[in-house]
Amino acid sequence: MRLWDNSASSSAERKYLEQARVGGVYGLDISVSPWKHWGLGLLHTQFFASASDSNVTFVDKSQGSARDKYRIFYTAPGIYVMQPVGEKLRLVGNAGAGIFFYRNEAEKGAFPGVLEGSALGFHAAGSADVLVVPRFAIGFGARAFYGELDDFRYNAIKTHTRPLSLSRVDFGVGVRFYP
């Protein structure tokens, strides 16, 4: 779920943007633990959402249909900590800093095109892994991201708009391998 303050937008624009607050997420998290409870790793995730409406009033006061696809990629190294709890449970946490890549593809609307940019970001995550067989676990967890984008390119031309929050919270289920 994306977290942003869109109170400066009109009520119609806020309603349109709310469609893209919740979307899908997939990711890959690879780590090694050369120390008993500590390790290093790499996280890569992608958030994707869309918004559409058949009757939108655009900034230039024209009206029509609109459709946007949003993608936010995040890649970061991190520090990992793992704590066994009994025979079957592992608590895992990680934190780090990386790069956000933002892409908003406006397929229909007053100004179709691609708005994109990149920015520094931070993350913190925690999960509980339940070993289902000796080396494989099912994990349930959450990740929080923080970042703000204020440097954009619209159709490859540098442009300025108000800063955009890339902050979000992801909830997920995954599979983890313990060598």
Q: What is the pLDDT of residues 60-76, one digit of tens each?
A: 777 788 889 999 999 99
Prediction pTM value: 0.87
Residues 82-119 have pLDDT tens digits of 999 999 999 999 999 999 999 999 887 777 899 999 99
pLDDT of 124 over the 90 cut: yes
DSSP 58-122: -TTS-EEEEEEEEEEEEEEEEEEEEEEETTTEEEEEEEEEEEEEEEEEEEESSS-EEEEEEEEEE
Instruction: Give the C-alpha separation, 11 to 161, whole Å.
Output: 19
- DSSP code, position 129: E
Q: Would you say 31 and 94 are in contact if contact means Cβ atoms under 8 Å apart?
A: yes
Q: Would you say 148 and 119 are in contact if contact means Cβ atoms under 8 Å apart?
A: yes
pLDDT of 1 over the 90 cut: no
Which of 138, 137, 129, 140 has its CA nearest to residue 170? Answer: 140
